[in-house]
Every structure is written in structure tokens, then in C-alpha cells.
A and B are shown apart, each in its own frame.
Chain A
Amino acid sequence: MIDLKNIGLTFARNGEQSEVLRGLDLFIPAGRFVAVLGPSGVGKSTLLRVIAGLLKPNTGSVALSTSPENAHLPVAMVFQDARLLPWRKVWANVAFGLEHSKLTTAERRAKAETALALVGLTGFSERFPHELSGGQRQRVALARALAVEPDILLMDEPFAALDAITREGLQDELARIHAATGKTIVFVTHSIDEAVHLADEVVVLAGKPARLAAAHVIDTPRPRRRNGDETAELVAQMRAQLGQTG
């Protein structure tokens, strides 16, 4: 569960103030897949950083309810760039978040292998990041987040830099992982189609400072077809909201 109340955030740089978020309330029950849509620069990444505790909001409160065994690291983040550590082999990148625990190297490695299997990368453990394709790197980043078994998964335009085929493959895998694990997922994207295809609920951020402009529940049954008729009207409605055409 994620409960944001009255979040306000202002960046100060060289004496210039830039208010990015103001009075933002958002409640996400456990297990829900929420997509955050909004134009670039509106504050989507900032919102994720606030949820992850990487940025402290100037006003308001962030409450996360998580299972006690995950108290140390209840959220895990997938960035837009895979952000792998280039000096670590794939398995050691995936095991990164496990290094707080008292697990032995063998146990960490086993968990990393499990997470890699989940994203379809069995057999890649011994490679270095530069030996992977962009899509594979993004999968490793997803495996790294899954390996810590977080209650909450935060994803910041994780598939934006990928080609369409790789992107759709990863979307399907994410849908499968969500169905299998029931994690709470906050998924930032600027693609309406991606949001509607994956999420239980789509929230739209707009304005400066950003506020929640709209929230749409997507209740089409899963597994979902791409660009199905059920969602066509909703997609059109969101396009209008975001001022996009075509």
C-alpha cells in the first residue's frame, strides 16, 4: 500500500525555485498496478523518487505499508536506463540489493539465478553488462529489482528506450510477473497504449506544479489484447486529456 498525502516538492537551484509537485494525494492499495502518465518534465520521475525515499518532499507525508520482513528495503526501483554496474557480472548486478542481508554468496547467487529465470535470462549470469543487448540489460535491471522481493516495484519508463518487439515482450513478462507475485507496481510511462495494456488504474499528471489530472480504472479482463476495442474509447479520452493527437 502506498499513501501519499498533500505532497509538495520544490527544487531550488542557483537561487531559482521550481515547484514541481503541489498538494498531490495518491492512494494505491496493495497489489494494484498503477500506471502514471504525463508529458515529459511534468514530474513523474520526481514522484517515483519521493515514493522511493530518494527525495524528501517539502510538504506532506509518504506512508508505505509493507510486510515486516521487508522493512529494510520495501521498494525496489527500475530506472529508464538499466543502470547496471558495468564492473559486475550479470548475477552480481542482480544480487546487488541482497548484500544487506546475512546471506552467503551462494545463497545470493541462487536468488539472483531465480530472478534471472523470472525475466527469461537463464544462462546469462557470467556475462558483463556490455555483452548484453539493450533489452537484456533492462531485463537484468528488472531482475535486480525483483531479487530483493520488494512489496512495491517502482518503474520509471523502463521500456521507453527499447524497440517495439522487445518492449511488447517485456510488457508481457511484467504482466505475468504481476499476476504471479501480486506486487504493488507504480509504472511511469508516456505511452497511453502501454499504460492501458498493463495497468489496473491509470493516473494522469499534468500542470506546473503537477497535480493529478485524472484517474481511470481499467477493468478489462486479463490476459489483454493489444489495442482491443474495449479500451479504444478510453485511449481516445486520455489522448484528449494529454493534448496528444493521432
Chain B
Amino acid sequence: MTRTKTIALSALGLAGFLIIWELVPGLGLVPATILPPPSALPGAFWGEVKNGVWLSSLTRSLSHYLAGLIIGCVLGVSLGIVTGLWVPLEATLAWVVRILRPIPGLAWVPFAILWFGIAPSAAIFIISTGVFWISYFAALGAVRSVDRDLIELADAFGFRRADQKLFKVILPAATPGILVGVRTALGQAWMAVVAAEIFGVPGLGQRMMQASNLLASDIVVVYMATMAAAYGAIDSIFVAVQSRLLRWKQ
């Protein structure tokens, strides 16, 4: 199939989807409060932008997101690297990790509320917990699989200290694997943001739940679309940075 044809078909598919979506409430098959038609969305969006709620919800969510992501990644990657380098530590942590790791991120919500209250710090805690495990295992695996020959190379050229090997060889060699983990974490963390906010921490999720309680389903859809767009943008930026960092790869 040619490129133009593929694009044409994709556009056709999207148009069909929107038309059906428009018609279902339009023809009165279901009430518009249950399924708001797409034509109602621009107005709802504009209303949220005008009263300033949209921007403040978005920036709040992004700030929880970034804080949780950074805390989780920094802790997870550092501990993953240290554990990867130092076998006794891995053995020491093995059972603790086995107990803690299977706990789903959202199962921490009760404790997050108990420890931090319904506050941004609770959201940040939940987000960083999920991010921590993903980046921990990514970093541990990446460090473990660094080519021993490259470490010997560092030795052969006089870099005998552990910190020299870490910065000259191990970290750069482990970077691709760590970045794969961080990318997975980006998605997990965004889900956690929404979940934490649904429990009441101010942000996109909370605003969406408010709208839902008021049966303003068009506003609910506006926030669903905002979440999707924000995540799409974050992921694209990350992929651009990643390919810039890894331009040395084939």
C-alpha cells in the first residue's frame, strides 16, 4: 500500500469514528449527557480555558508528574546501579524486593493518604513508587549486562578505580537500557497521576471527577483528551531526547 493511500485510509477511519460518535447522541439514541457529541467539545474546552481551570489543572498535574518522576527515577536508577555493581547488596535486598515489588502502585493509596493527607505530596509519593521499581530494575539489568570486555578495556588503559570505571564505561554503556526503563516509567507515572488525583489531589484527574459528578460529560471528555495529548507530547519529547542521546547507535 502506498503512503498516501495509508494516510487517506487512516483519515477516513477517523472521520467515520467522529461521524458515528456525533450521530449516536445526535439521533437521540442516547442522551448527550451520557455521550456528549464531538461538536460540543470545542465549546466546553473554551469554557474551561476561559475560566482558567484548564491551565491550572494541567500545570498542577504536570508538577506532580515531574516531581514524582524525578524522585522515582533518581532513587530507582541510583539504587539499581549500586545494586548492579555490588553483588552482596543485591543478595541483601533480594527478599525485601520480592515482598515489596508485587504491590501494585495504587495499593499504596491508603498509606499515601494516611501519611501525606489529600495533598500533592501524596500524589507524588504514589507516582514515584511506581517509577522507582521500573527504573530500579531497568538500571540493575542494564548495569549487569555491560560488556565485561569494555570494563577490561578501562582497566587496560589505567582506569582502575571503581568510580572511573563507572563514569568512563558502565554508565554510558548502561544508558540505553536505563532510558528504555524510564520511557516505560513515563507512561506508568502518567496513569498514577490521574489515579492519585481521582482520589482528590487537585489536577486534571480531580477536575475530571468534579465534572463527572456534575454530569458535565463534555468537560469530562475535554480532560480525557487533555490527558492523552499531554502524555503524547511528553512521550514525543522523551523519544526526541533519547534519540539525540543515543545517536551513536546504529
15 additional contacts, CB 8 Å, given A73-B157, A81-B149?
A52-B156, A54-B155, A72-B158, A76-B156, A77-B157, A85-B153, A85-B173, A87-B175, A96-B157, A96-B168, A97-B157, A97-B158, A100-B158, A128-B247, A144-B157
Q: Which B residues are CB-close (under 8 A) to A100?
A: 158-159
Residues of the B chain whose Cβ atoms lie less than 8 Å from the Cβ of A19: none
- Cross-chain contact of A79 among B153, B173, B248 (Cβ < 8 A): B153
Q: Which residue of A lies closest to B245 (CB)?
A: A87
Interface string of B41-55 (1 = CB under 8 A from A): 000000000000000
- The answer, among A99, A128, A148, for a CB contact under 8 Å with B248, is A128
Contact A130 to B248, CB < 8 A, known contacts A96-B157, A99-B168, A148-B157: yes
Query: How far does the Cβ of A162 sit from chain B's closest Cβ, in whole Å?
Result: 18
Contact yes or no, B169 A79, CB < 8 A? no
Give 16 CB contacts A-B under 8 Å.
A54-B152, A73-B158, A77-B156, A79-B149, A79-B156, A83-B149, A83-B150, A85-B153, A86-B248, A86-B249, A87-B175, A88-B248, A96-B168, A128-B247, A130-B248, A144-B157
Interface size on B, residues (CB 8 A): 18
Tell me if B172 is interfacial: C-beta within 8 Å of chain A.
Answer: yes
- Helix, strand, loop or mixed for chain A's interface? loop
**Are A87 and B248 interface neighbours, CB within 8 A?**
yes
* Interface 1/0 per residue, A26-45 and B, CB below 8 Å: 00000000000000000000
A87-B157 contact, Cβ under 8 Å, with A79-B149, A130-B250: no
Interface centre among A83, A87, A100, A129 (most CB of B within 10 A): A87
CA distance A130 to B249 in the complex (A): 7
Chain B residues, Cβ within 8 Å of A52: 156
**Which A residues lie within 8 Å of B150 (CB)?**
83, 85
Once the chains are docked, how many angstroms separate the CA of A79 from the CA of B153?
9
Contacts of B158 on A, CB cut-off 8 Å? Answer: 72-73, 97, 100
